[in-house]
Structure 1
Amino acid sequence: MRSLAPQREETAMHDHRTLGRELDLFDTDPLIGSGLPYWLPDGATVRHTLEEYVRDVERRAGYHHVYSPVLGKRELYEISGHWTHYSDDMFPPMDVGSDQVVLRPSLCPHHALIFRARPRSHRDLPLRIAELGGMYRSELSGVLGGLTRVRSIHLNDAHVFCTPDQVADEATAALDLIRRAHTAMGITPVRHRLSLPAPGGKYVDDPDLWRRSTALLTEVLDRSGLPYETAEGEAAFYGPKIDVQIADRAGRQTTLSTVQVDLHQPQRFDLHHIGPDGARHRPVMIHRSIIGSVERAVAHLIEQHGGAFPAWLAPTQIAVLPVTPDQHDHARALVRRCADLGLRAHLSDARRGTLGARIRQARLVPYQAVLGAREVGDDHLALRLRDGRRLDPAPADQVLAHVKDLVGAHRTDLW
């Protein structure tokens, strides 16, 4: 029988909890608390880049971005159903004057109020509202770990308010956005799951609601041609979900991205729009997350790539390595040229180790630009790629322009 020890060692090496700290991406402190990681500069760069990518994808797809508070009155979550069905996972309410306020466990009640705040016509639909916002879950200490199970979550969340006959198109479009993002991130889902309620669970007691919302999501999955499995007991308390499952190197599956159909909260908040007939009509609320929580997405990226992120996500995209201190001035100017192009470059000081040692130190950087006297004299670059390839010298402006194009296209290949 083949020994499992090498596989366990490889899994441990790529565990994001270990690797993320070794690479100075994130850390924790007992004075901040369990399940509340903080982001170090390189990790913050990865996170910010990922967030900006998602916002741009959403903007191009017709989403309107909003901000909403991380607190809400307890009454808000009583109306939404969270207090009845989800309070075990919420932090206790805080007394503020005569009110009780709660750290929100999700963003959807706030977005329902944003929809309700203005008169809506059928001409406004579908209305796509997106936010990358904080929410809080009272997770038990025993299940907390790294970035995958945390108490402070920043979710790439969006809610589409639409008519019933728009649901299939909107949910299918959401799945397309998820596929595009996963391709750019270098992520391959292991399966798609239609998550349904289970008997006796804490679900909204409305069989007709579940029948109609499940039929809508089943139509979406059948139309997409994606193979999927059903899973009882994995639905949200208010409706069924399409869950896009990923797996870590140990084979453990988690949900990264979701598409959900909700007929419950539009009813609870009395959401309506005026139809072509002049009458009030109830919209459907689609919950949709392209990359799920930023924390879980980055955790998976760390493990998936072993810290060697796609170039567009890498904290440092170009390592500039002068052979001797004589090339430092040119190297500093090259770093500034990279910054002007929107590229993240770092100068490796020739006084801090041999060239070979500095190349090894920059092994996870996608592009290494070694500058000797010839490169400085000709203003050429002969890039070393992270995968071991060495490119022929070419004019620096031409090389940097190509790297910029690759990064801007969110490619996963290096050249």
Structure 2
Amino acid sequence: MYDHRRLGRELDLFDTDPLMGAGLPYWLPDGAIVRHALEEYVRDQERAAGYRHVYSPVLGKRELYEISGHWSHYSDDMFPPMELGSEQVVLRPSLCPHHALIYRSRSHSYRELPLRIAELGGMYRSELSGVLGGLTRVRSIQLNDAHIFCTLEQAVDEARAALALIGRAYADLGIRAARYRLSLPGEGGKYVADPELWERATGLLKEVLESSGLPYDAVAGEAAFYGPKIDVQITDSAGRESTLSTVQIDFHQPERFDLHYIGPDGAKHRPVMVHRSIIGSVERAVAQLVEEHGGAFPAWLAPVQLVVLPVSDAQMAQGQEMVRRAVARGLRAELAGPEQGTLGARIRAARLVPYQAVIGEREAESDLAAVRLRDGRRPGALPVERLLERIGVCAAARGAELWAAA
């Protein structure tokens, strides 16, 4: 594996500046492309699974986090409140209180449940400078978050479906899970004092893991302050372990925010809140992708998917036209002409690009391009339109395969 902190900068994906501050990286154009493709993938997967997307503010009144329990159990990790007239507002440390309010803003029947609310939203953690590093530990986080409001009877199925979504995403992205962890409370006042709550939620998460056929380790002291969670652990290039994806079953916040739905008996009932994140924070996910792939991203994620290589100046017009046609098809294509060096040098410079299309004299005469794949395969000369169609199909599949059968 590679160190994303070094390679990410060499690939012009991200960087930092002391004037922005520690733990606040910025995304360069190629990194922004990877991030955008990843975010769109997640949104598409969620829509297909029945989620509806929302946007919510990154600020909230201090009172909101007092109700949720963050202020009493998590304030050490939050930025200090800002005075706004007679009120105090806080940069949010998580999205769940906002989603609880969104749910509470409308009345709900049992017929609407499960209600799945998703958001790719910003949140902020007051991390100490000594633990910050690259994209894995940052202060400004773009989180792939969702909250499912459901009946108690639906909670296990919803949490199990969330784990299946995580597994599918890891397969598409080429990410390997190191292990599954059932994170339980430890000693001290960090955790909500409600033994029955913990016992019920832990029992349901164990059922989720066991029915999914996933081995797991139960670890005390790693739970959220309001409940246990399933953590999907990954390892970086130095062997350090961290959490990327999570699934949680929460009885605490529905009680704190007085959430309810109308049951078939016409009475009010308390929903269960399932928290889940498929890829965790976009920052940590990209860091892991850089280290797993060494910058050779799957074709659908690559900043440049196709590089067109005219052999000489005589083929520049055909190369420019091929790039134009590729971009019109929605592909990310660039031209690398002879002014950038010999053909061999240009091929080596584009070694991380999934597809290389060489246009020589013979190809230019017949509207062909000689295809070279990043993995060393050479399918040969193909008509430009057919080649662009093949690349588009592979990219749209959002998988690891570079060259599907025709």
Q: Is this contact kept in 2: 1:317–1:366, CA < 8 A?
A: yes
Give the match for residue 235 of structure 1.
223
Q: Is this contact kept in 2: 1:73–1:99, CA < 8 A?
A: yes
Give the match for residue 42 of structure 1.
30
Q: Is this contact kept in 2: 1:201–1:233, CA < 8 A?
A: no
Among 273, 289, 292, the alignment partner of 2:280 is 292
Give the match for residue 409 of structure 1.
397
Give the match for residue 317 of structure 1.
305
CA distance in 2, matches of 1:180, 1:287: 18
Among 325, 329, 332, the alignment partner of 1:337 is 325
Matching of residue 108 in structure 1 with residue 58 in structure 2:
no
Among 132, 135, 153, the alignment partner of 2:123 is 135
Give the match for residue 7 of structure 1.
none
Q: Which moved more, 1:251-260 or 1:128-137?
A: 251-260
Give the match for residue 58 of structure 2.
70
CA distance in 2, matches of 1:237, 1:396: 57
Q: Is this contact kept in 1: 2:372–2:380, CA < 8 A?
A: no
CA distance in 1, matches of 2:313, 2:62: 63
Give the match for residue 349 of structure 1.
337
Matching of residue 164 in structure 1 with residue 152 in structure 2:
yes
Instruction: Report sequence identity in percent.
Output: 71
Give the match for residue 174 of structure 1.
162
CA distance in 2, matches of 1:37, 1:346: 26
CA distance in 2, matches of 1:293, 1:50: 11
CA distance in 2, matches of 1:267, 1:201: 19
CA distance in 1, matches of 2:146, 2:337: 45
Give the match for residue 398 of structure 1.
386
| 3-state DSSP of counterpart to 1:351 | helix
What amino acid is aligned across from residue 136 of structure 2 in structure 1?
A: T
* Superposition deviation, residue 413 in structure 1: 2.0
- State how 1:146-161 maps to structure 2 within 5 Å: 146-161=134-149
Q: Is this contact kept in 2: 1:158–1:287, CA < 8 A?
A: yes
Give the match for residue 90 of structure 1.
78
CA distance in 2, matches of 1:254, 1:366: 29
Among 369, 379, 399, the alignment partner of 2:367 is 379
Give the match for residue 244 of structure 1.
232
Q: CA RMSD in A?
A: 0.8
Q: What is the CA deviation profile of residues 40-70 of structure 1, one whole-angstrom value per residue up to 9, with x for unaligned ones?
A: 0000000000000000110111101000000
What amino acid is aligned across from residue 299 of structure 2 in structure 1?
A: A
| 3-state DSSP of counterpart to 1:257 | strand
* Superposition deviation, residue 253 in structure 1: 1.1
* Superposition deviation, residue 200 in structure 1: 1.8
Matching of residue 189 in structure 1 with residue 177 in structure 2:
yes
Q: Which runs of 5+ in 1 are unaligned?
A: 1-10
CA distance in 2, matches of 1:69, 1:99: 16
TM-score for the superposition, normalised by structure 2: 0.98
Deviating above 4 A after TM superposition, structure 1's stretches of 4 or more consecutive aligned residues are none
What amino acid is aligned across from residue 18 of structure 2 in structure 1?
A: P
* Superposition deviation, residue 201 in structure 1: 4.8
* Superposition deviation, residue 267 in structure 1: 0.2
CA distance in 1, matches of 2:18, 2:194: 44
* Superposition deviation, residue 396 in structure 1: 1.6
* Superposition deviation, residue 155 in structure 1: 0.1
Give the match for residue 205 of structure 1.
193
CA distance in 2, matches of 1:180, 1:341: 27
* Superposition deviation, residue 356 in structure 1: 1.0
Q: Is this contact kept in 1: 2:185–2:191, CA < 8 A?
A: yes
What amino acid is aligned across from residue 293 of structure 1 in structure 2?
A: S
CA distance in 2, matches of 1:347, 1:393: 18
CA distance in 2, matches of 1:71, 1:32: 20
Rate the CA distance shift 1:376–1:82 in 2: closer, same or farther, 3 A.
same
CA distance in 1, matches of 2:83, 2:248: 33
Among 175, 192, 208, the alignment partner of 1:220 is 208
Q: Is this contact kept in 1: 2:182–2:219, CA < 8 A?
A: yes
Q: Is this contact kept in 1: 2:311–2:337, CA < 8 A?
A: no
Q: Is this contact kept in 1: 2:185–2:228, CA < 8 A?
A: yes
Give the match for residue 3 of structure 1.
none
Q: Which runs of 5+ in 2 are unaligned?
A: none
Q: What is the CA deviation profile of residues 310-331 of structure 1, one whole-angstrom value per residue up to 9, with x for unaligned ones?
A: 1110000001111111111111
CA distance in 1, matches of 2:125, 2:251: 24
What amino acid is aligned across from residue 343 of structure 2 in structure 1?
A: L
Q: What is the CA deviation profile of residues 105-142 of structure 1, one whole-angstrom value per residue up to 9, with x for unaligned ones?
A: 00000000000000111011000000000000000001
CA distance in 1, matches of 2:332, 2:380: 22
Give the match for residue 125 of structure 1.
113
Matching of residue 283 in structure 1 with residue 271 in structure 2:
yes
Matching of residue 56 in structure 1 with residue 56 in structure 2:
no
| 3-state DSSP of counterpart to 2:380 | coil
What amino acid is aligned across from residue 307 of structure 2 in structure 1?
A: A
Q: What is the CA deviation profile of residues 342-372 of structure 1, one whole-angstrom value per residue up to 9, with x for unaligned ones?
A: 1110111211211111111101001111111
Matching of residue 22 in structure 1 with residue 20 in structure 2:
no
| 3-state DSSP of counterpart to 2:177 | coil
Q: Is this contact kept in 2: 1:185–1:412, CA < 8 A?
A: yes
* Superposition deviation, residue 199 in structure 1: 1.9
TM-score for the superposition, normalised by structure 1: 0.96
CA distance in 1, matches of 2:47, 2:244: 21
Give the match for residue 8 of structure 1.
none
